[in-house]
Amino acid sequence: MKTKAVRLYGKNDLRLEEFDLPAIKEDEILAKVICDSICMSSYKASHEADIHKRVPRDIDKNPVIIGHEFAGELIEVGKKWCSQFKTGDKFSIQPALNDPNGPVGVLSAPGYSYQFIGGDATYVIIPNEVMKNGALLKYTGDGYYPASLSEPLSCVIGAMHANYHTTPGSYNHHMEIKNGGNMAILAGVGPMGLAAINYAIHRTDKKPKLLIVTDIDQTRLDRAQKLYSPETAARNGIDLRYINTGIMDQPTVALRTMTDGKGFDDVFVFAPVVPIIEQADEILAFDGCLNFFAGPAKTDFKAPFNFYNVHYAYTHVVGTSGGNTDDMKEAIEMMGKGLDPAGLVTHIGGINAVIDTTMNLPSIPGGKKLIYTHISMPLTPISEFEAKGKENPLFAELHKLCEAHNGLWNIEAEVYLLDNAGKL
């Protein structure tokens, strides 16, 4: 079986190549990748290359396929796994295997560490350790992009599960956000912030009573409010407010006032910026939990924190990086119940767009960049479909289909794209 894939050979050295996959072993599975969502983690891996914790040291001789937020269908199932999986099953993969037997030990992950599996490919071989660790997840919903986005959604699910609160006088920690409490998502209208909002307002088990989302970009705030409206949140008993702290003289005072001076039980920081961390610290309630979600690029990144409050007000910090398999299962289950992650997606492209997109990801505005690996198409903002449709009927129809879904990517658009876009 031949595959086309984007492989990492070294620092800033990504190549789109065609090569032969070996025949699968009885404990492996051959799969067709349909789509992959490009993550900032792939940008970091491509720039750090063999010094990255998840990337093998010998990629100059044995390059790895990049991309870890992908979905597709199974083509051939090895004998060992025939009782659990079958040809035609749709799938998503939890990339964080936590398996000590992987190419770089416990940090091994598809999309970073393997020669024959990664999201930016047409066909891949799923190794035994993925199935052994329960990381090959069946997806029975419509389309493919929701399964691809289950990985980023699982990251915010994991973040909310990782928060904790205490009981004064005991040493018991109660995991999770505070049910019926005050929550703030700071710098919260980027792709992952939108995923957090979407998840928070659709939960039924643990949910805040007040949810404040801040940013300094009014355009992005307006888009977030259009996608996930206060009216939708109110139907689930949540008071959702979008706040532009960039136009406030004293944002921390104003934010605390919204809680009647009590502060926030759960604060999530979605940008690695020192003033935002300081702001988060200042608005914590008694026993408040600050979740530092954003991953800094600098290994010596530091920010001040009020340790008087740590001692006397029980404030505390957690940090999360990714979700686990149970979080991905929860993401897939919620999608089956109607949670649509399409609001994360702002750009669509083919496998030919992967290298430039990955290498320049921080400078490309918008949300998630969704790649369909069996087509050739430049990375294109959904917002430009209408203009491009004046000369290209493909984009004209995609614009029509997206407009019918509040300007968002959708299953109908995906089906049309796969049927009509230029094939490799």
Give the residue among 165, 192, 180, 127 at the shortest CA–CA distance from 331: 192
Task: Give the pLDDT band (50/70/90) at residue 29.
Answer: very high
Q: Provide the CA 31 distance to its chain's centre, in angstroms.
A: 22
Residue written as token pair 């979600």: 293
Q: What confidence score (pLDDT) does residue 199 get?
A: 96
- Average pLDDT, stretch 277-282? 98
pLDDT exceeds 90 at position 76: yes
pLDDT digit string (tens) for 236-272? 999 999 999 999 999 999 999 999 999 999 999 999 9
pLDDT digit string (tens) for 149-179? 998 899 999 999 999 999 988 999 999 999 9
Q: What confidence score (pLDDT) does residue 168 get?
A: 86
pLDDT exceeds 70 at position 105: yes
pLDDT exceeds 90 at position 297: no
Q: What confidence score (pLDDT) does residue 399 get?
A: 98
Query: How far apart, in whole angstroms, are the C-alpha atoms of residue 69 and residue 88?
Result: 19
Q: What confidence score (pLDDT) does residue 296 get?
A: 86
Query: How does the average pLDDT of the chain come out, rounded?
Result: 95
Give the residue among 357, 214, 345 at the shortest CA–CA distance from 283: 214
- Average pLDDT, stretch 112-121? 98
Query: How far apart, in whole angstroms, are the C-alpha atoms of residue 237 and residue 30?
Result: 45
Query: How far apart, in whole angstroms, are the C-alpha atoms of residue 415 and residue 297?
Result: 37
Answer for the pair 144, 187: CB distance below 8 angstroms, yes or no.
no
Please tell me the pTM assigned to this model: 0.89
Check residues 317 and 297 and name the one with the higher pLDDT. Answer: 317
Q: What confidence score (pLDDT) does residue 414 get?
A: 98
- Strand 284-292 versus strand 345-350 pairing type: unpaired
Q: What confidence score (pLDDT) does residue 191 get?
A: 86
- Average pLDDT, stretch 197-222? 96
Q: What confidence score (pLDDT) does residue 423 get?
A: 74
Q: What confidence score (pLDDT) does residue 263 get?
A: 98
Query: How far apart, in whole angstroms, are the C-alpha atoms of residue 143 and residue 33?
Result: 13
Q: What confidence score (pLDDT) does residue 75 get?
A: 98
Q: What confidence score (pLDDT) does residue 338 get?
A: 80
pLDDT digit string (tens) for 344-366? 999 999 999 999 999 999 999 98
pLDDT digit string (tens) for 412-424? 999 999 999 987 6
Q: What confidence score (pLDDT) does residue 424 get?
A: 63
pLDDT digit string (tens) for 374-400? 999 999 999 999 999 999 999 999 999
Q: What confidence score (pLDDT) does residue 283 get?
A: 98
Task: Give the pLDDT band (50/70/90) at residue 200.
Answer: very high
Q: What confidence score (pLDDT) does residue 366 get?
A: 87
Torsion, Cα of 326, 327, 332, 338 (10° steps): 130
